[in-house]
Structure 1
Amino acid sequence: MPLNDLITADAILPALRVNTKKSALHEMSERAAAVSGLGAREIYDAVLQRERLGSTGVGNGIAIPHGKLVNCGRIVGVFARLERPIEFESLDGAPVDLAFLLVAPEASGADHLKALARIARVLREPRIVAKLRATRDAAGLYGVLTQQQASTNAA
């Protein structure tokens, strides 16, 4: 599953200014609502509910918050590069500065898991993470996320 199937150029937040995990999830939910047509509160509530089960901060300054919604028609992603790292209760205790929010249909099952696995694979790649941290504009971040997919397919 290519990342450009999950995210669009207008779903990138290149310099998100937040101080808390909840405010980051709120801002990312607002953007997800704008690109998906779903309700921002509905997205935020689903993501927050999942977060209560355990932090989606996977380590190395990266979080992959996600949730499922009944009326969601397709998997939608939002990527944020935070201006300052924030506490996220990550597995390794490190603050988060890169987050990829994913919203999926309630019945998406394996597709949801494949999307999460794909995002995790990309964000585990040190070269990609370094580029994401160094890039300051939305178009550049989108390019790093989606160009990587093309190079993976060619290999």
Structure 2
Amino acid sequence: MLNHVIRPAEDRDLTAIADIYNEAVIRGGASADLEPVSLDARRAWVDSHQPRTKYPVVVIDVIDETTGTRETAGFGSLSKFHQRAGYDGVTELSYYIAGKYHGRGLGTAMVRWLLDAAVSRGFRHAVTIIYADNAGSVALMRKFGFTRFGLLPAAVATAGDDVLHDMSYWYRKL
């Protein structure tokens, strides 16, 4: 596990958030966006998380132990699941880790942080939607006790690779 810190996202993090997200868009299989998004689009996404005390956007910084320098390696959020008030106890969890940091424990740290944050904010359930063939995210959801409750089969979404993929829906009671 890399030495890291998870902290609230700030304006200075917008470029890193956009870069990490756009890397995922280009790589495919992690976002239904098919083209990289603008910095303004990512800013609007961050700003949509209101109130931030309930719907946090956070970044995970990796700390170089020899120099003390930090690099933003990923970000995550809790989002409003649905506009109707009856769903207020449900939050949507999402996270993105820069490709060079995949498989190094940062996704695990981020999901753990987001689940703890969801509990402390009084949510009853956490949900997420992932590409059914995204083995890393599927394994992470299983690791944290999520249950797949739905599948949009027959290849409903593309990942920019001209291949249609199934989408899986996951939940966890908090």
User: Structure 1 length normalisation: TM-score?
Assistant: 0.35
Higher relative contact order (CA 8 A, sep 6+): 1
The structure where strand makes up a greater share of residues is 2
Name the larger-Rg structure: 2
Give TM-score scaled by structure 2 length: 0.32
